[in-house]
Amino acid sequence: MSGSVLTLNAGSSSLKIALFRPDDEQPIATGMADRIGGDCVLTVKDASGTILSERRGAALQGATHEAVLQALVTILTEVRLAQDIAAVGHRVVHGGLVFTTPTLVGDDVLSQLAALEPFAPLHQQHNLAGIRAAQRAFPDALQIACFDTAFHRSHPFVNDVFALPRALYDEGVRRYGFHGLSYEYVTQKLAILRPELHAGRVIICHLGNGASACAIHDGQSIASTMGFSALDGLPMGTRCGQLDPGVMLYLLQQKKMTPDAIADLLYKQSGLLGLSGLSNDMRVLEASDDPAAKAALDYFVFRIRREIGGLAASLGGLDALIFCGGIGENSRLIRARVCSDMEWLGIAIDPVRNASNETILSAQLSPVAIMMIPTNEEIVIARAAFGMIDRQKALRLRGQGDLPPL
């Protein structure tokens, strides 16, 4: 019997965990830390949603990721859930060209992943900080990295390349795509719910504070709206989405902005927040009467619709459109607006099903199936971690030492 698996998703100012027992895909505990580095709040709940512990105040004021993880370990120990953690599974945003499967992390792998930090400056360093903290907190546990870019390595060349000198492509300047763990989960779920659709042409819209869309054929990623970085494609909560590279030259040459200032602008001041001047929270924008909030939503919907059209062209047609992510799963308004007047593509949403947040959202005679499937990146990570535990056990029984990555 395998030990427990702790999944860890470390963001720039957040830390999300889930604890899984073998053969059970419902976590026995979950934890969330918000505003790390500032007025941090840490909450741990059991499987029923009951709060086991909540900490805030001076003890966590300005705490680092490592300090927050140590506080989580203390809580799990107090409630007797930390004693048999055999592996910690980590979401890592960027795996580059080398890491295309879940990978056992040691010092060499950490060094290779650290070299990818310029490719994902908002995420990678915090993902790796989470791994280092977990190594110290659980020195006897396996550390397994699962990569958001891995799902998209099946892209054909035309959806992988930029029209730049080929030497840059060979150096790694290419379209990687992100949100891969989410797309992997939804694709696997679709194979169970509707295997005939899974075998066909599918577009999944992962809409949240980070947003992207992906064209998938027979379970394989064909094209994604995100490219070299997690800035490209759809507008997001605070990220700009698609941008004419000439804007970058203008900001550098004419506005004399520094690279750091431009990065802050594109990653943290743009998107729905920048357009509205109000908030990056979809709930706030939907409830607002401010014309700027309406304009931000108009642009968000316009870009999604435009990308759906382009992705459908890359697939040669469309059999299913699936929504997931915080906005995709909860915003009936955005789903309705995205699907409005899209009958030319075979998309017809049922307003009653949409209002009820059902799994099947398409009208009865809609040629394209429209669905809402809640994503679950933690389960994808946990499955990979349990698989690695079993693989390592089998290896030791054969006396062969450590296996290479999956």
What is the C-alpha separation between 6 and 83, in angstroms, rounded? 12
Q: CB-based contacts of 392: which residues, under 8 Å, 6+ apart? A: 104, 142, 402, 403
| Total residues found in the chain within this entry | 406
Per-residue DSSP letters for 307-360? HHHHHHHHHTS-SEEEEEHHHHHH-HHHHHHHHTT-GGGT--B-HHHHHTT-SB
**Under a CB-based contact definition with an 8 Å cutoff, are residues 14 and 33 in contact?**
yes
The residue among 187, 183, 185, 165 whose CA lies nearest residue 174 is: 165
Q: CB-based contacts of 41: which residues, under 8 Å, 6+ apart? A: 33, 34, 35, 54, 55, 56, 60
Please give the single-letter amino acid code of residue 115. A
What is the C-alpha separation between 396 and 388, in angstroms, rounded? 12
Angle of helix 180-193 relative to helix 377-397, nearest 10 degrees, comes to 90
Angle of helix 332-339 relative to helix 291-315, nearest 10 degrees, comes to 50
Place of tokens 């659709």: 197
Is residue 289 helix, strand or coil? coil
Catalytically annotated residue among 108, 148, 260, 281? 148
Known catalytic residue: 232?
no
What is the C-alpha separation between 90 and 241, in angstroms, rounded? 26
Q: CB-based contacts of 85: which residues, under 8 Å, 6+ apart? A: 3, 4, 5, 6, 19, 138, 141
SS3 content of the chain, % helix, strand, coil (to 5): 40, 20, 40
Catalytic site residues? 148
